[in-house]
Structure 1
Amino acid sequence: MVTDPIWLDNGVLRLGFLPVLGGRLLSLRHEGVEVLWRNPRLLDDQLRPVGGHRFAPNSGELGDWVNYGGDKTWPAPQGWSGAHEWPGPPDPVLDSGPYTATTGPDRITLTSGDDPRTGLRLTRRFTLRGNGYRLDLTAANTGGSPVRWALWNVTQLPGGSVHIGLADRPEPRVIDLVPAAHRVEHDVLGDRAVVPRQHTVGKLGFPSSAGWVTHVGPRRLLTQRFTVDRAAEYPDGGSPLEVWLESPLPQPIAALGNLNPPDEIVECEVLGPLTTLAPGARTTLTIEVTVTRPAGSTPSRPARPRTRPR
C-alpha cells in the first residue's frame, strides 16, 4: 500500500493528499500559509505520521474516530436510527479506507472502494485554478438496489468566524441542528449570516443558503461557492449548508458517541440534494473554492515556480 503523499502545486496553491487515509485534502497552502486544520498529533507538515502512528481503516462510535482533519466527502443524512442514515464517522470504507488516485497536470482524482453499507462509491476530483480549485464530487450506486443519499462535503478549518450568504426565503433562515454544549451564537444581517469565533460544540443549518460561505481564518479567507437547487429536498431540515463548531471540553460528550474534540475547529459543510439512485446511477456536486489574503495584508513569500503533481 502506497503511503507517500501526493502534492499538487501551481506556484500559488499547494494541495496535499494521502490516499491511504481516504479521499481527504490534508493540506491547502496559499503562498506557503496553511489554510486547513490538520491534527498535529497524527500528521506533520509533510503528511508523515507522528509518534509512531499507524494508518488503518477506523470504525466504532464517534468518539473512536481518528480525525486527521482536512477536507473530505461523506454521504448524508448522518444518523444511527436505520439503514437510511450514515452512522459515521468513523467509517472504514468511505472515510478512512484507502482511495485510488490518478493525477494529471493541475488535477487529481480520488476514488473510494465500493461501500456495502451505503451502496456507494465516492469520487473527488480537484482541478487547480490560480488561487483556487474546482472540486467535482460524485456518488455512484454500485449496489443492486436503489438508495437515497446526498453528497456532504466537510472542510475542517482552524478557529475563526464564518460568513454565509442568505437568499430571500421564508423563515427559518437558520436552524439549530446539534446544540450539544449551548446554542451556537450567530447574527443575521440582511443577506448574510455571521457566526463569530466562539468556544462551544454545536451545529447550525442554513435552509436559505445563497450558495456561498467564507471562513475568515487567522491569516487567510477561504470561500466556497456552490449551486442550490430550490426545488430539491436537502437533509437536516432542508440545509444546503451547515456550520459545525467544536472546542476542547473537560470530558467527552456522551450524547455524541463520546466525542472528545481535540482542538478548536470550524467545519464548513456543503450538501447536495437528497437523490434516489437506481443501481448504476450517480449524483454530483461541484464546489468552487478560492483562497485570498485579508485586505491590507502582504504576500507571505513569492510564488514558487510551477511544478507537476508528484
Structure 2
Amino acid sequence: MVEVRWLDNGILRLGFVPALGGRLLSLIFDGKEVLWRNASLLDDSLQPIGHTPKPVSGTMGDWVNYGGDKTWPAPQDEWCGPPDPILDSGPYTVSGELVLTSAPDPRTGLRLSRQFTLLPDASSFHLRLTAVNISPRPVRWALWNVTQLPPGVVHVGLDGEVVELIGSVEHRDGVIPVQSTVGKLGFPGSTGWVTHFGHEVSLTQRFAVDLGAEYPDSGSPLEVWLESPQPEPISWLGGLNPPDHIVECEVLGPITTLAPGERTMLDIDYELANRHSA
C-alpha cells in the first residue's frame, strides 16, 4: 500500500499520494470528485490497482499518467519529461500541515515543493509552488503546474493573443468547448484566471501575471491541453497513448535564472462552486 494524506475542512476533501510525484489525486467538493484520475491505475482510496508504483523514465509512451494535479519544470522541450524519475514519478517527502517536497534532481538542478493551505469552512484552497536551485551552477526554469480534469468547457480570462502550440483546438473569445482532439493552446494574453466547467462543479484557478517577465511557449502564463483516445499511440508525441478524454489547465510562472541556492515561487488560488451557483 502507498501512503495517502488527506486534508478535510468539511467542504473540501483533498487526497495526496506523496510517493507518486507529490500529486493531489482527489479533490472532492459537495460529494463530487472534481479531478480526472486514472481509474485503471488507482482506486477511490488512491491505492494502486494491479501494479507497484516506481520511478519511470523514457518516452511519453512510457509515462504512467495517474492524473490529478502536479508540478513540473518548463520549458518542456528542455526538461524532456514526462516521464521523469524524480520530479514526476519519484517520491516526495511530507512536512508541516501539508508541504510536499521532491528529492534533488541533478538533471534540472531543482528541488520542487508544493505547499497546500486549506482554510476552515471554505470552498477554496491555496497552493504555493517553490523551485530551489540545489546545483552548483546557475539554472533557468519556470514553474509549471498541471491540473488534469474531465471533459468540460474552459473559460480563460483573456486580453490579447492566443497561440496554437500543438495540434488543433477549437476556441473562440477565450472559450474552449468540449471536443475530441489532441492539442494545446497557449495564452500570452492571460489575465490571470481560468475556469473549468465540469458536469456539476466549476473549478477556477487564479494566479498573478507579470507583464514584464518572460514566459515559456511564446510567452504563455496559461496553457490548456486537450487529449482524447486515439486509434493508436501518437508517434509525433513520443508514443503517447491517451487513456481518456482529459482537459489540462496549466499555470506557468516566469522563466527565471537561479543562482545556486536561489528560488522562485508561484501562487495559485483554487475556487470551487456548484454549477447552479457558478
> Where on the TM-score scale, by shorter chain, does this alignment land: which range?
over 0.9
> Do structure 1's residue 109 and structure 2's residue 99 form an aligned pair?
yes
For 1:152-167, what aligned pairs fall within 5 Å after superposition?
A: 152-167=144-159
Which residue of 226, 238, 247 corresponds with 1:266? Answer: 247
- In 1, Cα distance between equivalents of 2:55 and 2:96: 23
% identity of equivalent residues = 65
**TM-fit CA distance, 1:53:** 1.3
Kindly provide the CA deviation profile for residues 170-225 of structure 1, in whole angstroms up to 9, marking residues without a partner as x. Answer: xxx1000011xxx100001xxxx000000000000000000000000111100000
Unaligned segments of structure 1, at least 5 residues:
80-84, 298-310
1:295 aligned counterpart, secondary structure: helix
2:76 aligned counterpart, secondary structure: coil
> Do structure 1's residue 177 and structure 2's residue 177 form an aligned pair?
no
1:99 paired residue number: 92
- In 1, Cα distance between equivalents of 2:29 and 2:137: 43
> Do structure 1's residue 187 and structure 2's residue 172 form an aligned pair?
yes
Q: Give the aligned residue type for 1:66.
A: V
1:145 paired residue number: 137
- In 2, Cα distance between equivalents of 1:200 and 1:223: 23
**Number of positions where the alignment pairs a residue of Structure 1 with one of Structure 2:** 276
1:63 aligned counterpart, secondary structure: helix
For 1:64-143, what aligned pairs fall within 5 Å after superposition?
A: 64-79=62-77, 85-104=78-97, 108-129=98-119, 130-143=122-135
> Do structure 1's residue 278 and structure 2's residue 270 form an aligned pair?
no
- In 2, Cα distance between equivalents of 1:295 and 1:61: 42
**TM-fit CA distance, 1:47:** 0.3
Kindly provide the CA deviation profile for residues 121-170 of structure 1, in whole angstroms up to 9, marking residues without a partner as x. Answer: 00000001310100000000000000000000000000111000012x4x
2:203 paired residue number: 222
Q: Give the aligned residue type for 1:64.
A: D
Write out the 4+ residue segments of structure 1 that deviate beyond 4 Å after TM superposition: none
**TM-fit CA distance, 1:49:** 1.2
- In 2, Cα distance between equivalents of 1:156 and 1:7: 19
In our comparison, the structure showing a higher alpha carbon Rg is 1
Kindly provide the CA deviation profile for residues 79-127 of structure 1, in whole angstroms up to 9, marking residues without a partner as x. Answer: 1xxxxx10000000000000001242xxx10000000000000000000
> Do structure 1's residue 20 and structure 2's residue 44 form an aligned pair?
no
2:275 aligned counterpart, secondary structure: coil
Q: So what's the TM-score if we normalise by structure 2? A: 0.98
- In 2, Cα distance between equivalents of 1:4 and 1:110: 13
For 1:187-266, what aligned pairs fall within 5 Å after superposition?
A: 187-188=172-173, 193-266=174-247
**TM-fit CA distance, 1:33:** 0.6
- In 1, Cα distance between equivalents of 2:56 and 2:239: 16
Going from structure 1 to structure 2, the CA distance change for 1:296 and 1:164 (only over 3 Å counts) comes to: closer
- In 2, Cα distance between equivalents of 1:275 and 1:90: 23
- In 2, Cα distance between equivalents of 1:49 and 1:234: 36
For 1:270-309, what aligned pairs fall within 5 Å after superposition?
A: 270-295=251-276
2:41 paired residue number: 42
**TM-fit CA distance, 1:296:** 5.5
Q: So what's the TM-score if we normalise by structure 1? A: 0.88
1:237 aligned counterpart, secondary structure: helix
- In 1, Cα distance between equivalents of 2:188 and 2:19: 35
- In 2, Cα distance between equivalents of 1:295 and 1:144: 53
1:185 aligned counterpart, secondary structure: coil
- In 2, Cα distance between equivalents of 1:25 and 1:132: 14
Q: Give the aligned residue type for 1:175.
A: V
Kindly provide the CA deviation profile for residues 244-280 of structure 1, in whole angstroms up to 9, marking residues without a partner as x. Answer: 0000010111000010000000000000000000000
- In 2, Cα distance between equivalents of 1:122 and 1:234: 19
- In 2, Cα distance between equivalents of 1:102 and 1:34: 25
1:187 aligned counterpart, secondary structure: coil
